[in-house]
Structure 1
Amino acid sequence: MPPTNKDNQTHVDKLVASARADYDTRQKGYRQRALKMFPWICGRCMREFTRENLSELTVHHRDHNHDNNPQDGSNWELLCLYCHDNEHQRLVEHATSNTKDRATTTHNPFADLKDQLNQKKNN
């Protein structure tokens, strides 16, 4: 008997739950290690953090590979939420700024200006 949609959905739900649990474990692991290793200061704006606002301090992977978590923390830096968002936005902008693929402007509004001025003078 082939599996039903309900069986498939149950299997998918289990996979998603497992992936989320693995992600949470991985997040807690390297975040806790990074917070123990580094001072609670944003590596970009130098904002200092305390226990009250520590949730605003994030771990940034320098090579953008979240699975690269060396024991010495060499791939991490602590960044505040704003600097972390800015860092990822810079990466997105850099990736999408391929100037070779950009369309160039083909219309020149002043192309016939000299001719038009000469015509006006002659009339």
Structure 2
Amino acid sequence: MPQPKAPPDSARLDRIVAAARRDAEQRNNGYRERALKMYPWVCGRCAREFTRANVQELTVHHRNHNHDDNPADGSNWELLCVYCHDNEHARYVDHAAGSMGAAATPAAATAQPFADLKALLDSRGKR
């Protein structure tokens, strides 16, 4: 008979989640606050303008997709609205997925859609 599993240590899990959230918040506040001070509050793709009322919808995008690359001059950042930011990451993921398994040259086409066209046209003319 299998042994019943011990219940998870919820206090330990709470500490891990709290530490992860705290670290993420510190990381985000660091470069996000600097980027918001450095750049105008306008999406770099759709040119939507932001105010204090909706600035939470403006995100910092890392151009090279490396979130640990945060130069002081902000050269790896651009401000994007949440929609353009999601679109940019989806395009990056699609590009990476498409380029990993793709062959260098496409396979030659083997279909012959007009193979019997002459015979078909000749048979129509005999009617």
- 1:95–1:18 distance in 2 versus 1, CA, 3 Å: same
Give 2:88's aligned residue: 87
Q: Please report how far the alpha carbon of residue 18 of structure 1 lies from its aligned counterpart in structure 2 after TM superposition.
A: 1.5
With structure 2 as the length reference, what TM-score do the two structures score?
0.69
Report what 1:120 is aligned to: none
RMSD of aligned alpha carbons: 3.2
Query: Residues 29-44 of structure 1 correspond to what in structure 2 (within 5 A)?
Result: 29-44=30-45
Q: Which residue of 1 aligns with 2:97?
A: 96
Q: CA deviation at 1:10?
A: 4.8
- In the other structure, the counterpart of 1:50 is 51
**Structure 1 residue 15 displacement after superposition:** 3.1
Mapping of 1:1-123 within 5 angstroms?
10=9, 12-13=12-13, 14-98=15-99, 99-100=102-103
Question: C-alpha displacement at 1:19, in angstroms?
Answer: 2.1
Paired residues, what number? 119
CA-CA distance at 1:65 after TM superposition: 1.1
Whole-angstrom CA distance in 2 between matches of 1:31 and 1:106: 53
CA distance in structure 2 between the partners assigned to 1:29 and 1:68 by the alignment = 12
For 2:37 and 2:23, how far apart are their aligned partners in 1? 21
Q: For structure 2, which runs of at least 5 residues remain unmatched after alignment?
A: 119-127
* Superposition misfits of 4+ residues, deviation over 4 angstroms: 9-12, 105-114
Distance 2:62 2:48 in 1: 19
Aligned counterparts of 2:94 and 2:112: Cα–Cα separation in 1: 28
Deviation at 1:74, TM superposition (A): 1.0
Cα drift, residue 46 of structure 1: 1.1
